[in-house]
Chain A
Amino acid sequence: MLYIKCPHCGLRSQNEFAYGGDASVKRPELNKEISDQEWDEFVYLRKSPRGKHLELWHHVSGCRQWIKVLRDTSTHEIFNTYKSEEKVG
């Protein structure tokens, strides 16, 4: 079980969190005309990389904040975690 450092609460077990998928996905702006393809990519298409992956986790049984986690999908190593508004880099 992963041990995730919530930037608000500290180290917590994975079972306090819910997985939220790829954190690099950006929702298209409201009221903006976009093509079917662009929309489909946003709604359905996700990469499934082996290695470093910036992903969202929701601390549902904790502070209820959505956080970003930079994790290696093959080794599960967690390099860093960020608050939702924090710049990753």
Chain B
Amino acid sequence: MWPRSFWYRIYEPFIRKAAGFGVASKEHDKERYEHKYEYCDLLIAGSGPSGLASAYAAAKNGARVILAEDKPRFGGSLLTSDVSINNQSGKEWADNIITELKGMTNVTVKNRAQIFGYYDHNMLVMSERVTDHLPKSEEFTPKQRLWYIRAKQVVISSGSIERPIVFGNNDTPGVVLASAAKEYMKVYGVLVGKKPIVFTNNDSAYETAIEFKKNNINPIVLDSRQDSNSEIVKEAKSLGIDIKFSHVVVAAKGYKKVKSCDIAEISEDKQNLNQIKNIECDCICVSGFWTPTIHLASQSGGKTKFKEEIDAFVPDKSKQKEVTLGSANGVFTLEETLKTSFDKGFELSKEITNNNNSQQIPKVSEKKHSKHDKFWCVPLPKGKKYKRFLDFQNDVAVSDIELAIREGYRSIEHVKRYTTLGMATDQGKTSNLNGLQLVSNIENKVVPAVGHTTFRPPYTPISIGAIVGREIGKHSKPTRKSPMHNWHEKNNAVFVDAGVWLRPRYYKRGNEGLFEASKREAENVRKNVGVCDVTTLGKIDVKGPDAAEFLNRVYTNAWLKLPVGKARYGVMLREDGIVMDDGTTTRISENHYHMTTTTAQAANVLSHLEYYLQLVWPELDVNVVSITEQWAGAAIAGPKSRDLLQKLFPDTNVSNEGLPFMGFVEANLFGVNARIFRISFSGELAYEVNVESDNGNFMWEKIIEIGKDFDLQPYGTEALSTLRIEMGHVAGSELDGRTIPYDTGLDGLVSKKKDFIGKRSLLKKAYNEKDRQRLVGVVPLDKKTSIPEGSHLVKDPKGKLPNPKLGHISASCWSVEHNNPFSLAILKDGKNMIGSKLYAMSPLKNKTIAVEIVSSHYVDPKGERVRS
């Protein structure tokens, strides 16, 4: 359409809007959604006759039953069909059964509850619309609730859906399914029209015609069959209803709604239309027979089979513990449905409960139906090009399918994707079979040879909110807080997420931002003394006679000779030689070790240790258990830390001789048992004090109180990072799952003498290349510009793309010792690059910075302070 440039800006947006394509809201959904887990003996999907009968039989036999009904009202077809059960109307019988079921303690009955998905091992998911129908939801009452139900047996009694017959202009408003028109009248007291046409190929639509008649409306019935003498047709005739056999609707007429329709007599072979006649009408009630709802049975993994008598697929052999009953299984008589459902409900419950209380099958009176006509699409009259829609939601017409076939699409899966037949939110509930009929007609195949597309959950669209449930915002993952959290909060800590933990990032004073505060805190550690909450570090208790041997296999360095009362830094690898984690482990007593891990890797390390103990070396007598939450930890670091420690523990000798570097001692903190480890992450003289978590706050407040005399300041993770980066101490950003010990400068800790997890991999050629990447320090030449983390190191900043990357910046800080920016990097041939000039480029931050490569140990390279 002209002009071409108008397409994207004007025509298409207009068309999309007209087609009902909306825009998703970006607003937060304020409604409450909940999840629920449930278990039962029998889960019954659908409360029509088969659902009610099987639920009743099973419940009376002692089984735990959940009966779910998608609609607000229970009873399914019984609400509208003209039958009697035990001399009651179908609806009365259904009401009585439901009332009785609701009164039983072993039964859960839910309406507005859609079983929408059938998953592995008999797990089904149900969406219950709790307050959707109410004007305003009450506080703490969910809008919807998602049920995860694990059932021992499942009864699929999901019923069937009426199929349309395809004819010209069949998308005109006023064209409805005959069953829908009947439900409007019988359940809601609404007439869909006053001049109705009932267009059918079977007996069931006659109930709609009779219902119109009962409401003093005179319908005209067009029946594609040549004749029918069934009970219900006779009744319609006796009521004086106008019935035209061998007649069809050729096309609906009317612009905004049906005003009339063209009808014609159709030949016996259904190929030719005789004289076309226009008659006035305001609605066309269509019935092209019934399609069993087999979605759940198919989702469970079972195959389907084509049932010739009803022109539709029904479930074949069940794959999981499930059975399909009633019209969902292609059984359309109430008598048979009730009998098999009562039997099945009893039989399934007996297997579970071993009870033997069977119910008497009620007496049924229903009208016998004659055969339907295998007719589904009205031919086009000569010279007319009416659109004949198959899929009303995605607007797929007969001509679209014909085009797809002409284009060469053969597989039904391809035809579906090319035309979008059945791909709307209704998933082709009314269109799929007619589409299959069409393809099989054109291809001269039978429907089962064409096959059907896959049924996938959800059966109907489900709110995203219901799927997410309460796991939104802060509830999307647990928040772990240290015992000292309240103190941090009261003292202006700004928090940061560290895994699932909340840790103080810095303690704000006045107008300070992150940079000023963390710099002040780090400087104070280097000058005086600081205290940092290190509760979040992973802690694992390792106990048993073989603990030393086990650690010796887990860590790359030697552990057999570590004396009691000493800590050692250790590195553990994965079997592929990549560094997994690092930390210090302390020998508390002969067979008892206290292992620490990084905050992030704590859970993985525990699983790793359990794997080797349980599966690889079960002969080792060792037990491991997480004690992260049992101990609160405070790191006290800085030149004045020993003086502070001595005041905290006056009875303990914490001198350099009494508690040397990497020493450990148990001590008394004003009546509270404490463990003191002389270990350092900051590169300063430092200690870590652990107490049982309940005493964490007590410890912290004592340190703060006594620390005042030593100019102590608490410091957060930002200062902690600064201190470790300028020290060249590796952490998660260097141990990133891509580095081996050599890369991170930890190769000195790799034992040549003993075997350990991952050692064999270190022999790999690539791990031993001469120009292997290695940890280095990076300083900007101007000593001013901070280098963004993640920047690439390149030789030539103007080099042709792709510019060869020599390494990357893993961590950056403002060195408080040198008062200029400093970064760590993993650099190719890093060992021989010290002193060279490169460029750090960050296209994301649009920065190119000239840098010099230096040693990663920017502060105290000989490590004298920690030993002082």
Q: Is the CB–CB distance between A39 and B760 below 8 Å?
A: yes
Q: Give the residues in chain A near B301, CB-CB below 8 Å.
A: 75
CA distance A18 to B763 in the complex (A): 31
B122 within 8 A of A: yes
CA distance A32 to B780 in the complex (A): 48
Q: Mark B243-264, 1 if CB is under 8 A from A, else 0.
A: 0000000000000000000000
CA distance A1 to B150 in the complex (A): 9
B319 within 8 A of A: yes
Q: Is the CB–CB distance between B755 and A42 below 8 Å?
A: no
Q: Give the residues in chain A near B191, CB-CB below 8 Å.
A: none
Q: Is the CB–CB distance between B760 and A13 below 8 Å?
A: no
Q: Look across to chain B and name the residue whose beta carbon is closest to the beta carbon of A83.
A: B614
Nearest chain A CB to B122 CB, angstrom units: 7
A35-89 residues with Cβ-Cβ distance < 8 A to B are 36, 39, 42-44, 56, 58, 60, 64-66, 75-76, 78, 84-85
A30-B553, A75-B301, A84-B618 in contact; A43/B120 too (CB < 8 A)? no
Q: Is the CB–CB distance between A2 and B615 below 8 Å?
A: no
Q: Is the CB–CB distance between B755 and A30 below 8 Å?
A: yes
B643 within 8 A of A: no
CA distance A66 to B301 in the complex (A): 29
B303 within 8 A of A: no
Q: Is the CB–CB distance between A64 and B610 below 8 Å?
A: yes
Q: Mark B752-788, 1 if CB is under 8 A from A, else 0.
A: 0011000011011000000000000000000000000
Nearest chain B CB to A34 CB, angstrom units: 7
Q: Give the residues in chain B near A76, CB-CB below 8 Å.
A: 120-121
Nearest chain A CB to B301 CB, angstrom units: 7
B18 within 8 A of A: no
CA distance A42 to B150 in the complex (A): 38
CA distance A77 to B107 in the complex (A): 29
Contact of A43 (CB < 8 Å), options: B576, B611, B614: B576
CA distance A66 to B615 in the complex (A): 7
CA distance A27 to B607 in the complex (A): 17
Q: Is the CB–CB distance between B610 and A66 below 8 Å?
A: yes
Q: Give the residues in chain B near A64, CB-CB below 8 Å.
A: 610
Q: Give the residues in chain B near A36, CB-CB below 8 Å.
A: 763-764
Q: Mark B600-625, 1 if CB is under 8 A from A, else 0.
A: 00010001001100111010000000
Q: Is the CB–CB distance between A20 and B122 below 8 Å?
A: no
B361 within 8 A of A: no
Q: Give the residues in chain B near A3, CB-CB below 8 Å.
A: 120-123, 150
Contact of B607 (CB < 8 Å), options: A31, A58, A75, A85: A58
Q: Look across to chain A and name the residue whose beta carbon is closest to the beta carbon of B39.
A: A11
CA distance A43 to B714 in the complex (A): 45
B119 within 8 A of A: yes
CA distance A43 to B294 in the complex (A): 45
Q: Give the residues in chain B near A20, CB-CB below 8 Å.
A: 611
B575 within 8 A of A: yes
Q: Look across to chain A and name the residue whose beta carbon is closest to the beta carbon of B125.
A: A1
Q: Is the CB–CB distance between A60 and B607 below 8 Å?
A: yes
Q: Look across to chain A and name the residue whose beta carbon is closest to the beta carbon of B574.
A: A43
Q: Interface residue tally of chain A, by bracket?
A: 20 to 34
Nearest chain B CB to A63 CB, angstrom units: 11
Q: Mark B144-162, 1 if CB is under 8 A from A, else 0.
A: 0000101000000000000
Q: For chain A, what secondary structure do more than half of its interface residues adopt (helix, strand, loop), or is it mixed?
A: loop
Q: Give the residues in chain B near A34, CB-CB below 8 Å.
A: 760
Q: Is the CB–CB distance between A2 and B120 below 8 Å?
A: yes
Q: Is the CB–CB distance between B614 and A28 below 8 Å?
A: no
Contact of A85 (CB < 8 Å), options: B319, B576, B610, B618: B618
Q: Look across to chain B and name the residue whose beta carbon is closest to the beta carbon of A15.
A: B148
Contact of B616 (CB < 8 Å), options: A13, A18, A27: A27
B719-765 residues with Cβ-Cβ distance < 8 A to A are 754-755, 760-761, 763-764
Nearest chain B CB to A50 CB, angstrom units: 15
CA distance A2 to B148 in the complex (A): 12
CA distance A13 to B148 in the complex (A): 11
Q: Is the CB–CB distance between B121 and A2 below 8 Å?
A: yes
CA distance A84 to B615 in the complex (A): 6
CA distance A84 to B617 in the complex (A): 11
Nearest chain B CB to A16 CB, angstrom units: 12
Q: Give the residues in chain B near A66, CB-CB below 8 Å.
A: 610-611, 614-615
CA distance A2 to B120 in the complex (A): 6
Q: Give the residues in chain B near A31, CB-CB below 8 Å.
A: 754-755
CA distance A66 to B607 in the complex (A): 9
CA distance A88 to B607 in the complex (A): 23
Nearest chain B CB to A82 CB, angstrom units: 12
Q: Look across to chain A and name the residue whose beta carbon is closest to the beta carbon of B616.
A: A27
Q: Is the CB–CB distance between B121 and A43 below 8 Å?
A: no
Q: Is the CB–CB distance between B607 and A18 below 8 Å?
A: yes
Nearest chain B CB to A58 CB, angstrom units: 6
Q: Is the CB–CB distance between A43 and B123 below 8 Å?
A: no
Which of A18, A39, A78, A85 has the most chain B CB atoms closer than 10 A to its own CB?
A39
Q: Give the residues in chain A near B618, CB-CB below 8 Å.
A: 84-85
Q: Give the residues in chain B near A42, CB-CB below 8 Å.
A: 575
CA distance A71 to B357 in the complex (A): 37
Q: Give the residues in chain A near B553, CB-CB below 8 Å.
A: 30
Nearest chain A CB to B266 CB, angstrom units: 48
Nearest chain B CB to A26 CB, angstrom units: 9
CA distance A31 to B607 in the complex (A): 24
Nearest chain B CB to A36 CB, angstrom units: 8
Nearest chain A CB to B830 CB, angstrom units: 26
Contact of B575 (CB < 8 Å), options: A2, A43, A84: A43
Q: Give the residues in chain A near B123, CB-CB below 8 Å.
A: 1, 3, 13
CA distance A34 to B616 in the complex (A): 18
Q: Look across to chain B and name the residue whose beta carbon is closest to the beta carbon of A42.
A: B575
A2-B120, A27-B616, A43-B576 in contact; A58/B150 too (CB < 8 A)? no
Q: Is the CB–CB distance between A13 and B615 below 8 Å?
A: no
Nearest chain A CB to B546 CB, angstrom units: 13
Q: Is the CB–CB distance between B614 and A13 below 8 Å?
A: no
Nearest chain B CB to A1 CB, angstrom units: 5
Q: Give the residues in chain B near A39, CB-CB below 8 Å.
A: 760-761
Nearest chain B CB to A81 CB, angstrom units: 13
Q: Give the residues in chain A near B754, CB-CB below 8 Å.
A: 31
CA distance A85 to B616 in the complex (A): 10
Nearest chain A CB to B149 CB, angstrom units: 11
A3-B150, A42-B575 in contact; A84/B760 too (CB < 8 A)? no
Q: Is the CB–CB distance between B614 and A65 below 8 Å?
A: yes
CA distance A42 to B576 in the complex (A): 10
Contact of A1 (CB < 8 Å), options: B120, B611, B614: B120
Nearest chain A CB to B727 CB, angstrom units: 33
CA distance A60 to B764 in the complex (A): 33
CA distance A58 to B610 in the complex (A): 9
Q: Is the CB–CB distance between A84 and B122 below 8 Å?
A: no
CA distance A31 to B122 in the complex (A): 48
B420-434 residues with Cβ-Cβ distance < 8 A to A are none
Q: Look across to chain B and name the residue whose beta carbon is closest to the beta carbon of A3.
A: B121
CA distance A87 to B80 in the complex (A): 60
Q: Is the CB–CB distance between A13 and B761 below 8 Å?
A: no
Q: Is the CB–CB distance between B611 and A58 below 8 Å?
A: yes
The contact sample of 7 A-B pairs, CB cut-off 8 A, is A3-B120, A13-B123, A13-B150, A43-B576, A44-B576, A66-B614, A75-B301
| Other A-B pairs, 17, CB within 8 Å; known A65-B610, A84-B614 | A1-B119, A2-B121, A3-B150, A13-B123, A13-B150, A18-B607, A20-B611, A27-B616, A39-B760, A43-B575, A43-B576, A43-B761, A44-B576, A60-B603, A75-B301, A75-B319, A84-B618
Lowest 10 A-B CB distances belong to which pairs? A3-B121, A30-B755, A31-B755, A66-B614, A84-B614, A76-B120, A1-B123, A39-B760, A27-B616, A43-B575
